[in-house]
Amino acid sequence: MKITKAVFPVAGLGTRFLPATKAQPKEMLPLVDKPIIQYAVEEAVEAGLDLMVLVTGKGKQSIENHFDTSFELEEALEKKGKTQVLEEIRKISSLGKFVYVRQQQPPLGLGHAVLMAKEIVGNEYFAVFLPDDVMDCPVACMKQMVEVHQKTSAAIIAAEKTDALGQERYGILKVEPTDNPRLHRIVDIVEKPGAQNAPSDLAVMGRYILPPEIFEKIEQTGEGAIGEIQLTDAIKSLLGEKEFFAYEYEGERHDAGEVSGYLKATIKLGLKRSDISEDLKKFIDEIAS
Ligand code: G1P
């Protein structure tokens, strides 16, 4: 069955970005000139998904406004003859259908946030996007994953090789090889194990294609790593019943969820923009010397 639903957990408090996130969602911080959340939604559209389910929380209204039509703005741009930017603005509100579910505060973890989408997702495979992970791929990362899902009919988790720091920060996978060097059968998964206990150097990145049975497992999952209800723990308990593959996508991922990763992503994506890249490159060369 075709995957159509994309779940975006966006209820987090953004504590790594304080004070910038005291009164605005971290998902609305700009990367070059687009808010972080828009990159993930555009990736979902490229993957053929059309129902965007955003799990929001207190103080996240500007995300809803961003994906809504802004008549006043459109009218003003039209009057000024700014047709190119008008086109861009109109495109944002037609990216898909948007549904908002509110997670009450304080957020109890990624697993709990995903559980909020249970009734909307229903009984079908669905995609999860963690917007902090900004994927810069020749073919949209989720599109690559959807293709793998169509071939395997299994759950798919985006994966990338990591280092000791990553073994502390990410979900880490234990895998077995398949015929496809990018695709591995998952036999175990553990959240933030640290280098000492990590079963491998293959880390979970923030893109998942999950079966609906995950919801029941989340409901049975208690507090895990860092005192939160972890999606990783629910996946672990589903491994014996459902097939899960790790997919090493083609492309690069930026961690826009912490300050230095965010700055690096801004520079990398800025350098790809033909209208500013020359100026930016000149500036980087100047300060580097
Ligand atoms: C979450 C997941 C983790 C995954 C990471 C990817 O962690 O729990 O398994 O590796 O996203 O970015 P968080 O960044 O919310 O701590």
Asked if 52 and 6 touch (Cβ cutoff 8 Å), the reply is yes
Given a cut of 80, is residue 107 above it in pLDDT?
A: no
Q: Given the CA of residue 203, which atom of ligand 1 is nearest to it?
A: 10
So what's the pLDDT on residue 14? 87
Q: Which two tokens stand for residue 52?
A: 């965007």
Nearest to 232 by CA among 157, 152, 131: 157
What phi-psi label fits residue 59: left (phi over 0), alpha (psi between -120 and 50 degrees) or beta? left
So what's the pLDDT on residue 222? 86
Given a cut of 80, is residue 106 above it in pLDDT?
A: no
pLDDT tens by residue, 156-210: 999 999 999 999 999 999 999 999 999 999 999 999 999 999 999 999 999 999 9
List b or e across 87-100, with b for residues whose CB sees 16 or more CB atoms inside 10 angstroms. Answer: eeeeebeeebebeb
Asked if 89 and 76 touch (Cβ cutoff 8 Å), the reply is no
pTM (whole model) above 0.75: yes
From the number of C-beta atoms within 10 Å of its C-beta (0-12, 13-18, 19+), residue 68 rates as: exposed
End-to-end CA distance of the chain: 55
Residue 227's pLDDT band (cuts 50, 70, 90): confident
The whole-angstrom separation of Cα 278 and Cα 284 is 10
Q: How far is the CA of 128 from the centre of ligand 1 (A)?
A: 12
HSE-up (13 A, CA, CB side) for residue 126: 24
Q: How far is the CA of 10 from the centre of ligand 1 (A)?
A: 13
Stretch 60-68: mean pLDDT: 95
The whole-angstrom separation of Cα 206 and Cα 79 is 41
Residue type, 154: A
So what's the pLDDT on residue 280? 95
High-pLDDT (> 70) share of the chain, %: 100
User: Any residues with Cβ below 6 Å from ligand 1, and which?
Assistant: 110, 130, 132-133, 170-171, 191, 203-206, 230-232
pLDDT tens by residue, 77-101: 999 999 999 999 999 999 999 999 9
Q: Which of 115, 130, 173 to mutate to test the pocket of ligand 1 (most atoms within 8 A of CB)?
A: 130
Q: Which two tokens stand for residue 27?
A: 């998902």
Asked if 123 and 3 touch (Cβ cutoff 8 Å), the reply is no
So what's the pLDDT on residue 86? 96
Given a cut of 80, is residue 276 above it in pLDDT?
A: yes
Q: Which of 157, 204, 258 to mutate to test the pocket of ligand 1 (most atoms within 8 A of CB)?
A: 204
The whole-angstrom separation of Cα 10 and Cα 58 is 10
Domains in the chain with CATH codes: 5-288 (3.90.550.10)
Residue type, 216: E
So what's the pLDDT on residue 210? 98
Residue 138's pLDDT band (cuts 50, 70, 90): very high
HSE-up (13 A, CA, CB side) for residue 98: 20
From the number of C-beta atoms within 10 Å of its C-beta (0-12, 13-18, 19+), residue 185 rates as: middle
Residue 226's pLDDT band (cuts 50, 70, 90): confident
Residue 154's pLDDT band (cuts 50, 70, 90): very high
Residue showing tokens 């963690």: 130
Q: What average pLDDT does the structure give for the chain?
A: 95
Q: Which two tokens stand for residue 220?
A: 């049975």
High-pLDDT (> 90) share of the chain, %: 92
Q: How far is the CA of 206 from the centre of ligand 1 (A)?
A: 6
Q: Which of 27, 163, 167, 169 to mutate to test the pocket of ligand 1 (most atoms within 8 A of CB)?
A: 169
* Residue 29: CB atoms within 10 Å: 17
For residue 230, CA distances in Å to 140, 156, 215, 233 come to: 26, 17, 12, 5
